[in-house]
Amino acid sequence: MKQTRQPVSIGRKQECRWWCCASVVIKAAAPHQDRVAGGGRKSLSETLEELLYEKFVTKRTKKEKVTRSWLASMALTIYASEAAELQSPPPFAASDHWVSNFMRRFEISLRRRTNLTVLDDDVLVNRAVCYMSFLREQVPTIDLEKTDLMDETAVYFEDARASTLDFTGARHIVVRSTGFASMRITVVLAVSATGRKLPPLLVWKGKAAPTFEKRSGPVYVTHQPRAWVDS
């Protein structure tokens, strides 16, 4: 009858003792047994990585977004230009692992945007002047009756505010909820340049509809997947 070996379980205490002994052995090793500084697999092309890093710095200096896919695509482009000068270039795929190693070597990481780029005063003023000049040129040909000013706002099914009046010193402040605090619709309000108010438009969540449905009020209703005008 064949006997099977039972799995050996190691406790936490034995594991800690093993690691302590291993650290002592590593420290007692001869100098020639230490890992060589700078050892390990070398990069495929230092020139490629330097050029890619320069392009990364240039793009971020312009406050443009950089993604991992962009790094991989640009690396392949640079490598293609280098490989054209070689007789038998080694294969290079700019894999996800390679991109991760490149980011680690050059201390690049995924960061969340902290704030939007603010335009310089000169650029902002120049754009405003150009826009106002464009509008003034269009005024003689504008039909005020067909020129509408509109805005959209979210209307929630429940009051989203988390504060309420209560007794001073109370430790627990409980506010009853219906469970639909995040549900909302979008209300679009518009007025013509002549001052005529247009009927409101309600945007509900649902399958996109090409037309507006007129309801009593008068109110117009339509549907969008995200209950938003530009969804």
Domain annotation covers residue 215:
yes
220 in a domain, yes or no?
yes
Residue 75 lies in a domain: yes
Residue position matching structure tokens 């704030």: 115
Same domain for 198 and 151: yes
Tell me, what's the pLDDT at 56?
Answer: 92
User: Do 84 and 150 fall into the same domain?
Assistant: no
**pLDDT number for residue 228:** 77
| pLDDT attached to residue 41 | 54
Closest C-alpha among 230, 228, 215 to residue 154 = 228
pLDDT recorded at residue 14: 72
State residue 7's pLDDT score.
58
Asked whether residue 52 is domain-assigned, the answer is: yes
Task: State the total domains in the chain.
Answer: 2
Residue 89 located in a structural domain: yes
For residue 192, being part of any structural domain is answered with yes
Low-confidence ranges of the chain (pLDDT < 50): none
Q: What is the pLDDT at residue 39?
A: 54
Question: Is residue 219 in a domain?
Answer: yes
Question: What is the span of the domain harbouring residue 73?
Answer: 46-105
pLDDT tens-digit series, residues 15-59: 777 777 766 656 665 565 565 555 555 566 788 999 999 999 998
Task: Kindly report the CATH number assigned to the domain that includes residue 51.
Answer: 1.10.10
Can you tell me the distance from the alpha carbon of 202 to that of 188, in angstroms, rounded to the nearest whole number?
A: 6
Listed residue (187, 183, 182) closest to 221, CA to CA: 187
Q: Give me the pLDDT at residue 4, please.
A: 58
Same domain? For 100 and 152 the reply is: no
